[in-house]
Structure 1
Amino acid sequence: MEDIAKVVLENEMDLIIAHKRSMKLAEMLGLSLSAQTSFATAVSEVARNTIENGKSGSLVLGVDGTKINKQVQFVVATIKNEKNSYNSLNGLEYAKKLVNKYSVSTNKDAETLIELFYGIPHRIKLDFPQLDEWRTVFRNEPAFSPYEEIRKQNERLQELTAQVQKSEAQYKMLTNSLPLMIFSLNATGLLMYANEWLQRYTGESIESLNTSQWKQVVHPGDYDSFILFFNNKIPQEAASIKIQARIKEKDNDDYLWHQVSLSPFQNDRGELQYWIGYLVDIHAQKVYEETLKDNFELKQVQEELKDHQNKLEQSIAELNQSNFELQQFAFVASHDLQEPVRKLMLYSDYMLSRHTHNMDEKGIEYLKIIHSVSGRMRNLIKDLLAFSQISKSEIAFSPVDLNNIARFALQDLQLPIEEKKAIINIQPLPSVTGDESLLRQLFENLITNSLKYSRKNVPPEINISYKQVENNHEIIFSDNGIGFDEKYAPQIFKLFQRLHARDQYEGTGLGLAICLKIVEIHRGAIRATSSEGKGANFFVSLPIRTA
Structure 2
Amino acid sequence: MRKINQQAGKIALYFAIIGVLWILTSDRLTAFYFTKEETFNHVQTYKGWLFILSTSIFLYLIIKKLFEKIDQRNIDLAKSLLRYRSTLDNMLEGAQIINFDWEYVYLNDVALEQGRKSKKDLLGKKMMDVYPGIENTQMFKHLNTCMDNRESYKMENEFAYPDGAKGWYELSIQPVPEGIFIFSYDITERVKVEKKLKVGEQRLIEAQRIAKIGDFVWDVNSGEVTWSDPLYELLGYNKKEIVDFNKVNENMHHPDDRKGVNKWLTDSINSNSDELSPKEYRLIRKDSKIIYVITQGRIIRNNSHPVKVFATVQDVTEQKQAEQSLKESEEKYRNLFMNSPDAIFINLNDEIILCNNSFKELMTAKDLSDIIGKSPFDIFQPDIHGLVKERINKVRQYEEDISFHEEKIVNFNGEEVDVEVHRSAFSLGEQMAIHVILRDITEQKRNREIIKENRRRLETLMGNLPGMAYHAKNQEGWPMDFVSDGCLNLTGYTANELVGPNGCFYGDIIYPDDKEYVWNTVQDAISKGEHFVMEYRIKKKNGNVHWVWEQGLGVSVDKDQVHVIEGFVTDINERKIAENELVEHRKNLELLVKQRTRELYKSEEKYRGLYESVKDGIVHVTMSGKILECNPEFSKMLGYSIEELKKQSYRDFSPEKWIEIENEIFENETLKRGYTDEYEKEYIRKDGTIFPVSIRMWLIKDEDDNPKGMWGIIRDISKRKEYEESILNLYKDLEIRQKQLESANIELEAFNYSVSHDLRAPLRAITGFSQILLEDYIKDLEPEAQRLGKVIQDNSEKMGELIDDLLAFSRLGRASLQFTHVDMSNMINSIYYEATSNEIREKIVLKVHNIPPITADTKMMRHVWMNLISNAVKYSSNRDEIRIEISAEQNKDTVIYKIKDNGVGFDMRYKEKLFKVFQRLHKPNEFEGNGVGLPLVQRIVNRHGGEVWGESELGKGATFYFSLPKKHV
TM-score by length of 2: 0.28
Instruction: Please give the TM-score of this superposition, normalised by the length of structure 1.
Output: 0.47
Using CA pairs under 8 Å that are at least 6 residues apart, name the structure with larger relative contact order, 1 or 2.
1
The structure number with the bigger radius of gyration is 2
